[in-house]
Structure 1
Amino acid sequence: MAESAEAEQRGAPASEVLRVDGTGLGRVGARPGLGRYVASLWDYRSFILFDSRSRIAGATSTNALGRIWMILNPILDGGAYFLVFGLLLQTGRGIENFIAYLIVGVFLFRYTSQAITNGSRSISSNLSIVRAFQFPRATLPIATNLRELLLFLPTLAVMVVLILAIPPLEDITWRWLLLLPLLALQTLFNLGLSLLLARVVARWADVANLISFGTRIWLYLSAVFFSVERFEHIPPLVTAMHLNPMYCVLDIARQSLLYGTDADPLRWIVLIAWTVALLALGTLVFWDAEESYGEER
Structure 2
Amino acid sequence: MTGSEARTATRAPVRHHRVSADGLARVGGRPPLGAYLRSLWDYRSFILFDSRSRIASGNSVNSLGRLWMVLNPILNGATYYFVFGLLLGTGRGIENFVAYLIVGVFMFRYTSQAIGAGSRAISSNMAIVRAFRFPRATLVLATNMRELLVFLPTLATMVVLVLVIPPLEHITFLWLLLIPLLLLQTLFNVGLSLLLARLVARWADVSNLVNFGTRIWLYLSAVFFSIERFENHPALVTMMHLNPMYCVLDIARQSMLYGTVAPLERWLVILAWTTVLLVVGTVVFWRAEQSYGEER
Q: Normalized against structure 2, the TM-score is what?
A: 0.94
Q: Distance in 1 between matches of 2:45 and 2:132?
A: 16
Structure-2 residue corresponding to 1:66: 65
Matches within 5 A, 1:1-297: 21-297=20-296
* Percent of residue pairs bearing the same amino acid type: 74
3-state SS, counterpart of residue 43 of structure 2: helix
How big is each residue's C-alpha offset from its partner over 1:227-255, in whole Å with a ceiling of 9 and x where there is no partner?
00000011100000000000000000000
Unaligned 5+ runs, structure 2: 1-10
How big is each residue's C-alpha offset from its partner over 1:183-237, in whole Å with a ceiling of 9 and x where there is no partner?
0000000000000000000000011011111100000000000000000011100
Letter of the 1:28 counterpart: V
3-state SS, counterpart of residue 169 of structure 1: coil
When the two structures are aligned, how many residues end up with a matched partner?
286
Q: Distance in 2 between matches of 1:296 and 1:233?
A: 53
Structure-2 residue corresponding to 1:8: none
Q: Distance in 1 between matches of 2:273 and 2:216?
A: 19
Q: Distance in 2 between matches of 1:242 and 1:259?
A: 19
Q: Distance in 2 between matches of 1:244 and 1:72?
A: 28
Letter of the 2:204 counterpart: A
Q: Distance in 2 between matches of 1:131 and 1:18?
A: 38
Q: Distance in 2 between matches of 1:187 and 1:23?
A: 40
Q: Normalized against structure 1, the TM-score is what?
A: 0.94
Letter of the 1:271 counterpart: I
Q: Distance in 2 between matches of 1:271 and 1:92?
A: 25
Letter of the 1:94 counterpart: G
Cα deviation for residue 23 of structure 1 reads 2.4
Cα deviation for residue 181 of structure 1 reads 0.3
Cα deviation for residue 27 of structure 1 reads 1.3
Q: Distance in 1 between matches of 2:224 and 2:204?
A: 32
Q: Distance in 2 between matches of 1:272 and 1:200?
A: 23
Structure-1 residue corresponding to 2:8: none
Q: Distance in 1 between matches of 2:16 and 2:38?
A: 39
Cα deviation for residue 24 of structure 1 reads 2.1
Unaligned 5+ runs, structure 1: 1-11
Cα deviation for residue 26 of structure 1 reads 1.3
How big is each residue's C-alpha offset from its partner over 1:256-282, in whole Å with a ceiling of 9 and x where there is no partner?
000000101100000000000000000
Q: Distance in 2 between matches of 1:107 and 1:275?
A: 20
Q: Distance in 2 between matches of 1:18 and 1:295?
A: 38
How big is each residue's C-alpha offset from its partner over 1:149-207, in whole Å with a ceiling of 9 and x where there is no partner?
00000000000000000011111110000000000000000000000000000000011
Letter of the 1:230 counterpart: R
Q: Distance in 2 between matches of 1:260 and 1:173?
A: 7
